[in-house]
Every structure is written in C-alpha cells, then in structure tokens.
Amino acid sequence: MDPFMRATIDEARAGLAEGGIPIGSVLVHNGKIIGHGHNRRVQHGSAILHGEMDALENAGRLPASVYSESVLYTTLSPCAMCSGAILLYGIPKVVIGENQTFMGEEQLLRERGVVVEVKQDAECIALMREFIQASPELWNEDIGEEG
Amino acid sequence: MDPFMRATIDEARAGLAEGGIPIGSVLVHNGKIIGHGHNRRVQHGSAILHGEMDALENAGRLPASVYSESVLYTTLSPCAMCSGAILLYGIPKVVIGENQTFMGEEQLLRERGVVVEVKQDAECIALMREFIQASPELWNEDIGEEG
C-alpha cells in the first residue's frame, strides 16, 4: 500500500482508539508528511476539527507555494467544509480512501480543477461501516444531519 | 445598526487589537448569540481559524436542528472553507458586512439555497482596506494567495 495512505489510515485508527470518529488525513509536500490529523469532534468537543482540517491545522501556517505543491490524503471523501479548505489553499490533488459510506464534494473539487483519486480501500470502508453502525448519532452530528 | 452586525464588527476590532486579522463573526440562534469568533491566524498560529470557523468552534458541538435555525454573521464575504462549513451544517442564512475587499463563495452559497445578505457596511470596508494596505503578506496568506 501507498505509505501515505497507510499513515492516513493509521491516523483514523488512532482517532478510534481515543474514542473518536475514525477519519484520518495527512498533508504531503515533496514526498514528506508535513501535517498529520484525525477527527477530534469527541476528543476536543470540536465542530470544525474533521480529519482534513486537523491535518491542515497541524501543518501550521504555510505560504501558498507549499499548498500548491502538496497532496492531501484522507480516509473518507471530504465534506463541504474540508473541500472548501482544499479550494481556499489551492491544494491541487486529493487522495481519498473511499466514498462508499459518504460522498463529499468530489464533483465540486473536480469542477475547480482539483485532481481527485479514490482508492475504494477495503480497510477504510470497513472502518467507517463499523463506526456508523455502532454510533449513528455521532456520525450524523459530524456531517450535519439530523440524529 | 443591527446589534448582531455590531457584535460582529466588535469581534473584528478585538482581533485587530490582538495584532490579528480584523474579521469577526457571530452565530445567532433564536435571537441570541451562541458563538462569538474572530480570525486567529496570528494569535493561535492557525491555518483554519478564520472568523466564521472560530465562531462555529466556540458555539461547540450542536445538533443539526440548531444550525438549521441559525444565522451566521460575518464582517467579510466568506471564503471557500467558511462557505463549505456553512453548507456542511445547513446554516440557512448568512449576513455579510461587505464583499468589496474580498469576494468569497457567495454564488455557491446561493446556488445551494443559502440566503445571502450583503450590507456593504462602510466600517467593515474601512477595517479591511486599512488592514490589507498595512499587512498585504498576512492577508495573502490568509486567503491562500502568493505573498
């Protein structure tokens, strides 16, 4: 497996082990991970720390030139907020673990010129399927749906 | 002036007084402010705490039913990230101080059914004009542009 997708799934598993929502993300620049993240809704009582947002936050303040050479990895198709962050910073490519359990704003990203690669990775799908079945209310909260 | 826009501008001024980027936001539910925020890029070294994101974060974890009855106020037209957060949570209305110094994703918001009201408030315009003139590199960083 792509080592960056492996690191992304490991982030999702770390979130699950903390009692959180198992979605992970890493930001990769020039073949190096510069930001690790996972969903922190439960851990930090956060409404904005989706996995992708956490990876961007942990990468810190960066010049536009770094984002424009980076790839964002995420275990799950990015929601409107995380897709908007990708567009804000002009990140040119997103590698997605799966979009079977949730379809985010992939079409909008493609329309705006972002390269979107979907792996349909069995481990990512199983992680989310099990989580959604176990904690449907938490999952609905995370995607702004009625519980 | 609308007291919620007054509170929103006061947030922007609080950010400026802290040495930050002068953009403020409040989340209003049933005629009460439930989240105050302002841009914290400088103060927290944050890549994601735009004013609107900070207001959503400070409002805390909320059920979808609260977002669907709320109005988000912001001094400046919301960027792709903040607009995406509005779409994620199904916030039905956004009141914007101005869009003369920066045009965000108002068209996308309207296409998705969000009511967008732009005040073109002179105080908001002056705040941003002065800030952008004084700190163009910081402003460019905040909107993902080359410095």
Determine the Cα–Cα distance for residues A19 and A15; give it in Å rounded to an integer: 7
What total of structural domains would you count in chain A?
A: 1
pLDDT over 90, % of chain B = 98
Asked if residue A147 has pLDDT above 90, the reply is no
Largest CA distance in chain B: 41
Judge whether B147 lies within some domain. Answer: no
The reply to whether A18 touches chain B by the CB within 8 Å rule is: no
Mean pLDDT of B46-75: 98
3-state secondary structure of B88: helix
Judge whether A146 lies within some domain. Answer: no
3-state secondary structure of B5: helix
ipTM: 0.98
Asked if residue B147 has pLDDT above 90, the reply is no
Please provide the average confidence, as pLDDT, over all residues in chain A. Answer: 98
Annotation says B111 is catalytic = no
The reply to whether B57 touches chain A by the CB within 8 Å rule is: yes
Question: The whole model's pTM is what?
Answer: 0.98
Mean pLDDT of A10-29: 98
pLDDT grade, residue B108 (50/70/90)? very high
Mean pLDDT of A11-27: 98
Judge whether B146 lies within some domain. Answer: no
| Rg for chain B, CA atoms, rounded | 14
Among residues B72, B139, B65, the alpha carbon closest in space to that of B109 is found at B72
Mean pLDDT of B17-40: 98
Q: Which pLDDT belongs to residue A83?
A: 98
Q: Which pLDDT belongs to residue B114?
A: 98
Mean pLDDT of A53-72: 98
pLDDT grade, residue A92 (50/70/90)? very high
Measured from the Cβ of residue B93, the count of other Cβ atoms closer than 10 Å reads 16
CA distances (Å), A47 to each of A57, A114, B67, in order? Answer: 14, 25, 11
Asked if residue B66 has pLDDT above 90, the reply is yes
Judge whether B133 lies within some domain. Answer: yes
Q: Which pLDDT belongs to residue A1?
A: 86
Judge whether A28 lies within some domain. Answer: yes
Mean pLDDT of B19-48: 98
pLDDT grade, residue B126 (50/70/90)? very high
Q: Which pLDDT belongs to residue B142?
A: 97
Mean pLDDT of B28-43: 98
Please provide the average confidence, as pLDDT, over all residues in chain B. Answer: 98
**CB nearest A144 (choices: B67, B105, B140):** B67
pLDDT by residue (tens digit) across B70-99?
Answer: 999 999 999 999 999 999 999 999 999 999
Judge whether B42 lies within some domain. Answer: yes
Chain B partners of A77 at a C-beta cutoff of 8 Å? none
- Amino acid B99 reads N
Judge whether A147 lies within some domain. Answer: no
Q: Which pLDDT belongs to residue A51?
A: 98
pLDDT grade, residue A65 (50/70/90)? very high
CATH of residue B16's domain is 3.40.140.10
Mean pLDDT of A113-142: 98
Q: Which pLDDT belongs to residue A15?
A: 98
State which residues form the domain around A72.
Answer: 3-141
Mean pLDDT of A30-50: 98
Asked whether the beta carbons of residue A61 and residue B41 sit closer than 8 angstroms, the reply is yes
Chain A partners of B84 at a C-beta cutoff of 8 Å? 79-85, 87, 105
Residue B36, φ and ψ in degrees, nearest 5: -105, 145
Judge whether A14 lies within some domain. Answer: yes
